Amino acid sequence: MRTHSPALHPQPQQLGALALGAALGFALIPAASANYYAGSDRCRSCHAAKYREVTNSIHAKMIRVNAHLPGVIHGDLRLPNAPKLGTSNSPTNDAHWVMGGWYKEESYIRTNRPGDPFPYTVTQFQSDPIKNTYVQNQSLRDWTVKCAGCHTTGYNPTNRSWKELNIGCEACHGPSGDHADDGGDTIFPVIDRSTEGCGYCHIRAENVAMGSFTNKQFNFPIGYQLGNPASLQFIPEPLTATASFYPDGTANRHREQYLEMNHPARAPSKHYAQGVSCTKCHNPHTAGILTNYPSGFPAGIYGIKNYDNVNNTTNYVGWERGGHLWHPATHAPISKEDLCKTCHTAVSDHHVHQFSASALAATITCVDCHMPDVINIDPVTLRAALPSHRFTAMMPATSLKFGPNAQPNSCTYRCHQSDGGDKSARARWADSIITLKASPLVASSHPFQVRVVGTPEYRYALEATTDFQVWIPLTTNTAAALPSYMPRWGFEFADPGSFGTDKRFYRVRQVSPAP
């Protein structure tokens, strides 16, 4: 399978095919043509179903024509009290395109306006559909160096041009003009299932110098070659950037998924290390197909809050249930509630969440704890637009360490709102419930008896000391249901080495899986 660089390709041209002649017995082989971007419309004739999926997805809707221009019927998310851009007093706004806005913010782009320093300028105004407010940036931005590399298909950094707006077929498959010219018989487009194939856009990073380009010239990586994961080079947003990451390194902005899984400043996530790529869970063609929830849909639903300019209402738009996720083997649509179980077959839905009868009865799934939706949180519903992609639970102890206002946790950022008068109290309460414990079982008796409380099916090592210098291994056990203490999990141990001593200190360590 051939691979192609996503940029710097020749313009369309055809090379003549030389027929060697059937009389010689040779099969007629199409001559190789110079490859070029054919455009998504040309893919439709052979790949109609995939084309419909792609063009209905959020990938194809991130750049939209401004509805305020004459003759344009597409809606945007503009709030009714939004200020006019520039100095125009006309009811028609002078912005030509609308970018984003489904779950984070909406920016306005104008083209070739007299006095603009760039041919494509991101204006000062941005809508925040979650807070229903407008914000103003202090400076204009050149869209061709700040945004275009990921919001277009076939971007060429040399002349800052592109084949088509939005993420079309060739943004992921590479230039496919020769494939189309060949009728798909012998020349095939790239099929890049690597995390890097998605990560070169789902990343918050600047470019590494290459060729005539200098470091940080673009606000996105350049030079990635589809099908060659090692070619992804970038200068990442640092984990210390508070605008992009929570103190524990979990993303708090969109476009951070790759850095959550494989940031150069820390060990990669377990999923990434084991080769679990984005397409293992996500159908790349339907990625984010949008559905308008009907009026009156519960406000607590997972979804994307947006402004409906036509109806003058704020509503939710949500991912199709199972539409953007698929079974990793059959590729049939699947809910995220079931997706984790296709690999983690032995893990209970409630896993750690077995502290009490009400905890066991709660309606929770793996992703509630391991992929909390903490990116762009709606302050009213406490629902957020996007989940984290570290695939690790955000612990209450971390909220206490960094401060609960700065650092959410999986237990109390949305759930358990009644378990404490404020965020700090709730974090302390949650930490007291889930913290690994070793406590006396029966006081003033020999041998000393210890109860270890932990996570179902995890293994723990119990150790003892009298001087805090030398720790003596006692036992390593798997947490099981504790008698008369249900539904707590752990084990109990009578310490034979405690005879003849008045004091003995214990500690417990999680040994499997590795913490």
Give the other-Cβ count within 10 Å of 377's Cβ. Answer: 19
> Taking residues 106-111, what's their average pLDDT?
76
In angstroms, how far apart are the furthest CA atoms of the chain?
102
Q: For a pLDDT cut of 70, what percent of the chain falls above it?
A: 75
Question: Between the CA of residue 255 and those of 110, 193, 205, what are the distances in Å?
Answer: 23, 18, 10
Question: Domain map of the chain by residue range?
Answer: 22-59+149-280, 62-145, 335-432, 437-512
What are 391's two structure tokens? 């695939």
Give the pLDDT confidence score for residue 314 in this predicted structure: 55
Report the pLDDT averaged over residues 204-217. 97
Least confident of 302-316, 357-371, 412-426: 302-316
- DSSP character at residue 450: E
Q: What is the pLDDT of residue 27?
A: 30
CA atoms of 442 and 492, how far apart (whole Å): 11
Contact 390, 260 (CB under 8 A): yes
Q: For residue 265, is pLDDT > 50?
A: yes
Contact assessment for residue 195 and residue 204, using Cβ atoms and an 8 Å cutoff: no
Q: What's the whole-number average pLDDT of the chain?
A: 79
Q: Alpha-carbon distance 482 to 453, whole Å?
A: 9
Spell out the alpha helix ranges (H) of 343-406.
357-361, 366-370, 396-402
> Does the pLDDT at position 487 exceed 80?
no
- Residue 383 CA to residue 391 CA, distance in Å, equals 18
Phi (first) and psi of residue 270, to 5 degrees: -60, -40
**Res 211 pLDDT > 80:** yes
Nearest Cα neighbor of 462 from 447, 449, 477, 448 is: 477
Six token digits for residue 209: 């110098």
The tens digit of pLDDT for each residue in 338-370 reads 889 999 988 887 888 887 778 888 988 899 999
Q: Where are the alpha helices (DSSP H) in 109-168?
A: 143-146, 148-151
What dihedral angle (degrees, nearest 10) is formed by the CA atoms of 214, 217, 220, 222? -40
Buried b (16+ CB within 10 A) or exposed e, 112-141: ebeeeebebbbbbbbbbbbeeebeeeeeeb
Cα dist from 236 to 204, 216, 303, 478, whole Å:
6, 10, 28, 41
What pTM value is reported for the model? 0.80
Chain centroid offset of residue 337 CA: 17
